[in-house]
């Protein structure tokens, strides 16, 4: 977020209840492995960082995340925080779920969750997920 949204400070953390972290898009649009997305899943939850996103940064992030290309949809969900539920938007992959992330990509996600204060068991579960290897270029 710091690289793509320099005007948007992190303002907190929370949980998206009824959703699970998953991966999708392996082999699509030049990605090396599958990328993060979320899927509705009663009983599950995803730890998230919250940002006060500046309008200029939002436009840039939409471009980087593939909203303008149709790869992701931007949805508004409720995030449970210690101060109560708040609305926030997320990016959800517009295609089918499936595929595995690279070890590097998964490590970046787990490191970010740990740095943001995610519980140890949540970070451990992230780190123990299977990973794939990027396909060699043809």
User: So which residues are the catalytic ones?
Assistant: 65
Burial 27-61 (b: 16+ CB within 10 A, else e): eeeebebbbbbbeeeeebbbbbbbbebeeebbebb
Say how far apart CA 32 and CA 26 lie, in whole Å: 7
Say how far apart CA 14 and CA 86 lie, in whole Å: 9
Token pair for 77: 């969900």
Token pair for 24: 């999708």
Which residues are within 8 A (CB) of 20 and not within 5 positions of it... i.e. 6 or more apart? Answer: 38, 39, 41, 44, 45, 46
Say how far apart CA 81 and CA 65 lie, in whole Å: 25
């Amino acid at each position: 977020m710091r690289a793509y949204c320099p005007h948007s400070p992190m303002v907190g953390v929370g949980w998206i209840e009824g959703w699970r972290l998953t991966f999708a898009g392996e082999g699509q649009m030049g990605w090396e492995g599958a990328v993060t997305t979320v899927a509705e899943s009663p009983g599950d939850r995803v730890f998230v960082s919250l940002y006060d996103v500046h309008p200029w940064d939002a436009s840039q992030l939409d471009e980087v995340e593939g909203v303008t290309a149709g790869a992701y949809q931007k949805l508004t969900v409720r995030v449970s925080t210690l101060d109560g539920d708040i609305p926030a938007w997320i990016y959800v992959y517009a295609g089918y779920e499936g595929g595995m992330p690279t070890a590097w990509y998964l490590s970046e996600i787990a490191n970010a969750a740990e740095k943001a204060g995610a519980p140890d068991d949540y970070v451990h579960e992230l780190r123990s997920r299977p990973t794939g290897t990027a396909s060699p270029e043809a």
